[in-house]
Amino acid sequence: MHSSETQLVSSFKETLHYLSKHTRDAYQRDLNYLQMYCVKQGIKKWSDLNGQKLRDFISCRHRKGISGRSLQRNLSSIRAFYRYLLKTGEVSTNPAIGIITPKTARKLPKLLDVDQTCQLLEIKENDVLAIRDKAILELIYSSGLRLAEIISLDIDDIDFSDRVLTVTGKGKKTRSIPIGKYAIQAIDDWLKNRQVLTSNNKKALFISNRGNRISPRSIQQRVKKWAIKQGLSTHVYPHMLRHSFASHILESSGDLRAIQELLGHADISTTQIYTHLDFQHLAQVYDETHPRAHRKNQIKDK
């Protein structure tokens, strides 16, 4: 492909400034794969790529073992890129429209049960980093935050009087979420001790021991550390607490729409994964407690 075609990818990526770096890099990788395919096929311009050739590209990726979910993301990136090319007049059609990717079984998210969650959050240490970490863990579980959302929080985003948090989620969309009393108390304890760390950032709610806004990697490592320290036998990561929040709320309320709003999901179908988890939990309870199911298991044991 000509360098001008490569430049179109770079120009498109610049329009995605509102997305996270992780997402922008994913778009770039997806389009790099497509561009390499086009070079091998002798396709010199983006306008030369049609629906059939794009289906061949998807089929080729699928034969290499790429999952349906990854292929869906590939197509999403390509559709967005061609929407940009349509707006700029570089192409007249979007070849990705109408193409369907192979389906793969949707994996259920891993989560902690209520007892495990309480065990994780029962942090008794009172050094400044432990106080900060407890506030982070309590807030993720209390409000179901994404990792990127917890990192981007500023002190002014919290309304202590109404116990409400203003979060900026995907696509720069903001939402208001209630905060539980344990999280409020943990955050208050942290803010009283925050000045112990020399801060280069007076806005960020959570900062590192160097005074900068805390990084994603740092939170991941600290969550893993506390899970081990608190005696949990499973690998724990920040998003697991978000999944646990959603599942526990659903078990108590059964209100899927409310959970969608709290999590900031644009599509209810994304939230519906938690109904499968809820059914899985009910099925387990049934197997363990129903007289007939119990008797059947006993017969099998014999």
Measured at the alpha carbon of residue 238, what is the angle toward residues 234 and 241, in degrees to the nearest 5? 75
Which entry of 24, 55, 62, 170 is annotated as an active-site residue? 170
Any domain includes 300: no
In this structure, are 143 and 257 located in the same domain? yes
Any domain includes 154: yes
Any domain includes 237: yes
Any domain includes 32: yes
Measured at the alpha carbon of residue 174, what is the angle toward residues 171 and 175, in degrees to the nearest 5? 130
Q: Is 61 a catalytic residue?
A: no
Secondary structure percentages of the chain, helix, strand, coil, to 5: 65, 5, 30
In this structure, are 147 and 260 located in the same domain? yes
**pLDDT of amino acid 298:** 46
Dihedral of the CA atoms 7, 13, 15, 19 (nearest 10)? -170
In this structure, are 235 and 123 located in the same domain? yes
In this structure, are 24 and 163 located in the same domain? no
What mean pLDDT do residues 121-142 have?
Answer: 95
Q: How far apart are CA 79 and CA 95, in angstroms?
A: 8
Which entry of 146, 213, 243, 248 is annotated as an active-site residue? 146
SS3 256: helix
Q: Is 239 a catalytic residue?
A: yes
Q: Is 163 a catalytic residue?
A: no
Residue 161: how many CB atoms within 10 A of its CB? 6
Which entry of 73, 194, 242, 248 is annotated as an active-site residue? 242
Is the model's pTM score more than 0.75?
no
Q: What is the DSSP string of 12-34?
A: HHHTTTTS-HHHHHHHHHHHHHH
Any domain includes 36: yes
Any domain includes 128: yes
**pLDDT of amino acid 92:** 93
Confidence of residue 296 (pLDDT cuts 50, 70, 90): very low
CATH number at residue 9: 1.10.150.130
In this structure, are 118 and 261 located in the same domain? yes
In this structure, are 247 and 165 located in the same domain? yes
For residue 32 the two structure tokens come to 């790099």
Any domain includes 37: yes
Q: Is 170 a catalytic residue?
A: yes
Residues 6+ apart with CB under 8 A from 193: 128, 131, 132
CA 124 to chain centre: 29
Answer yes or no: is pLDDT of 84 > 90: yes
- Specify the number of domains making up the chain: 2
In this structure, are 130 and 205 located in the same domain? yes
In this structure, are 128 and 256 located in the same domain? yes
Q: Give residue 247's domain range.
A: 114-265
What mean pLDDT do residues 98-103 have?
Answer: 79
Q: Is 146 a catalytic residue?
A: yes
Write the pLDDT tens digit of every residue in 186-226: 999 999 999 888 767 789 999 998 889 999 999 999 999 99
Q: How far apart are CA 76 and CA 257, in angstroms?
A: 25
In this structure, are 178 and 131 located in the same domain? yes
